[in-house]
Structure 1
């Protein structure tokens, strides 16, 4: 049994990366002594309920954690959750405790760590100017230097994992090393209905945040309905104080339409119920690094649609009849699937959590002894 630290910059976004963090803790807690280091206020109990996980490990937060989180939350929404500076602070916090551990696992992308580590990269958080991610931000070089990665070299004893081939390409471009692809954990819901018994409705699962584009999902359903299809929409979004104003905008847009239903912070049972009983799943975030929501739709036996960019193309096997390039294209693509009575064809168990748990345990077991 090793002493393992799991590092995650913030769990307050309540998205796919946070699901991965809790699954990593769950995978390792029965075979190692695990401690989670994070800058976040969310409790493991509420996150376990949200993600249907069973993580039960000590959580180390810095002194003044609540004030630190409030300071980040007070940033204008256009800055998002400020993951890079959070990670810089988290690395400094962990450095004071690193000698207590045999290994570390980052579930929040790449770090320069002083001990053997497994690093799960959703997308590079530093040196983004070297990737194709678009605007890296004016402070990218500063955060990269403060993180100890300004030279674009990761520790030699870091075992790299990535959530998709698309992300692996970005890591290789930024750091000259290609991670092993390890798809995130997505289990099929327990009781999916047969296709003919499902409602002709769209489900959108994800954070109520600008990057997830729930307002775009509403416009797409508006457009499909304008073509004569009686389609309704369920937005199932975890809310975060980071995006409080945007969440209110989404709620207002939903309240203006009788066919749009908003479930804030729905428990896992409600999410599964919607996935099991509806035909269509929709993702609207461009260049999704993997697309856990898209994988959830596939696992539930739905017909899934997503932008034609990023790791979600892999989830949908690059099918042109499931991918779209614009809002108008999405309207046409969804409408065409309804008119053709398109059925799901992709395997439902491709991303099961037991596969992910085993891969994480194997990666930790393969780490070299600490220096």
Structure 2
């Protein structure tokens, strides 16, 4: 049985990237010997419950000692360095596997690897527009960044020799800007199996937002939007759902929620409760600007809510680029959402359901694409291995 190494920093972060990784593991575990190269010790029982997966036939190998130690001591503080070390470890052990698959962006793995990019690290510091970058990337302005670049050892040639996927057309544009090659777009896997939306008339007149509690998710601004809607006479509430990764920011959000009986900071809750919140509320809202794709937004739509999202980044594809669901600022959001909340006919027109989300973003579609990419990588490798080496060209001046 062929051996595949799947490279991912920390499955226990439980974000969209981890959902991708878990679905990749699930897609490959029955047909290959799969080893997860990582920095932490994943609890697959907990992760399977959280992501509704069945990963149970995967070996786990920690990537040396330095990167796991940095992760344990500092968490996400040295995120880019940790991934540089992880990629270096995987590359040095590539001979132990028949194929390497990264689910944590481009890591400069050996030729013919598969890499799924949520947002590029930009190891070669080539991006023209860096204003929209929230995800940690390399910037050529400090000893730390230069260290990360040196440790990673990534070149454009490395990237061009790999099979690349991006999670949205927007991310594919950014990768092309960074490396001069465009990935295929493979939307991440959205689990619609648990969603059974209530009829619209029976749903609560409120909002749900899903995502890790961290500053880039702009939960404070989301609360301000709900404040503005209430000032316009809409009796709406807000449920904030997701694990905490920034304790200081969580305290800011908790302070605001404590002053507002209509804001419920629920934090991380079991998936069945998350699904129930989504399926029983009319509206969803997402705060992060320049979101790479927005799996939480797709789940909100799958559960039957009307999701409102920032107009930049890759998430606009989920709401079919409908300007009525896109906003540019807090004030713009209040204006647009007020218009929708005040018009039941418009609400009916804008709604989508789990069937459309499954068709466009479903998990089986994703896993089949992963298996097909792996098959193609092995076929290409086998063809190269069976091709005869080119005969050396005789030099007439050698006299033989």
TM-score higher than 0.5 here? yes
Distance in 2 of aligned mates of 1:212 and 1:116: 35
Output the aligned Cα RMSD.
Answer: 2.0
| 2:19 counterpart of 1:15 | no
* SS of residue matched to 1:26: helix
2:241 counterpart of 1:236: yes
Deviation at 1:325, TM superposition (A): 0.4
Counterpart of 2:13 in 1: which secondary structure? coil
Q: 2:395 — aligned with what?
A: none
1:69 — aligned with what?
A: 71
Whether contact under 8 Å (1:301, 1:348) holds in the other structure is no
Q: Which has the higher contact order (CA 8 A, sep 6+)?
A: 1
Number of equivalences: 362
- Greater shift in the superposed pair: 121-130 or 103-112: 121-130
Deviation at 1:338?
0.6
Q: Which residue of 2 aligns with 1:39?
A: 39
For 1:184-195, what aligned pairs fall within 5 Å after superposition? 184-188=188-192, 189-195=194-200
Please report how far the alpha carbon of residue 286 of structure 1 lies from its aligned counterpart in structure 2 after TM superposition: 0.4
Q: 2:231 aligns with which of 214, 226, 241?
A: 226
- In the other structure, the counterpart of 1:300 is 303
More divergent stretch after superposition (28-37 vs 51-60): 51-60
CA contact (8 A) 1:203 1:233 kept: yes
Within-5 A mapping of 1:181-260:
181-188=185-192, 189-240=194-245, 243-260=246-263
Aligned to 1:363: 373
The answer to whether the 8 A contact 2:85-2:151 is kept is no
2:182 to 173, 178, 182: 178
- Contact kept in structure 2, 1:4 and 1:32, CA below 8 Å: yes
What corresponds to 1:30 in structure 2? 30
Task: Please give the alpha-carbon distance, in whole angstroms, between the structure 2 residues aligned to 1:263 and 1:217.
Answer: 15
Q: Assess, with a 3 A threshold, how the Cα gap between structure 1 residues 228 and 156 changes in structure 2: closer, same or farther.
A: closer
Which consecutive unaligned segments of at least 5 residues does structure 2 have? 386-400
8 Å CA contact retained: 1:239, 1:265: yes
Please report how far the alpha carbon of residue 93 of structure 1 lies from its aligned counterpart in structure 2 after TM superposition: 2.3
Partner of 2:59: 58
Residue 76 of structure 1 is matched in structure 2 by none
Residue 289 of structure 2 is matched in structure 1 by 286
Answer whether contact 1:102 1:115 (CA < 8 A) is retained. Answer: no
- Distance (whole Å) between structure 1 residues aligned to residue 178 and residue 157 of structure 2: 9
Q: Deviations for 1:200-242, whole angstroms, at most 9, x for unmatched residues?
A: 11000000011111111111111111111000000001123xx
Offset at 1:165?
A: 0.5
In 1: Cα distance, 2:332 partner to 2:357 partner: 26
Distance 1:82 1:339, change over 3 A: farther
Contact 1:123 1:167 in 2 (8 A): yes
The DSSP-based 3-state class of the residue aligned with 1:105 is strand
Q: Does 1:97 align with 2:93?
A: yes
Report what 2:6 is aligned to.
Answer: 6
- Cross-structure match for 2:394: none
CA distance, structure 2, for counterparts of residue 131 and residue 37 of structure 1: 32
1:155 Cα shift? 4.3
Offset, 1:92? 2.5
Residues 29-84 of structure 1: CA distance to partner in whole angstroms, max 9, x if unpaired?
111111111123542222222222222212211336663223332xxxxxx65432
List alignment gaps of at least 5 residues for structure 1: 74-79
Q: Taking structure 1 as the reference length, what is the TM-score of the superposition?
A: 0.91
Q: Deviations over 1:317-345 (max 9, x none)?
A: 21110000001111111111110121343
CA–CA distance in structure 2, aligned partners of residues 86 and 131 of structure 1: 25
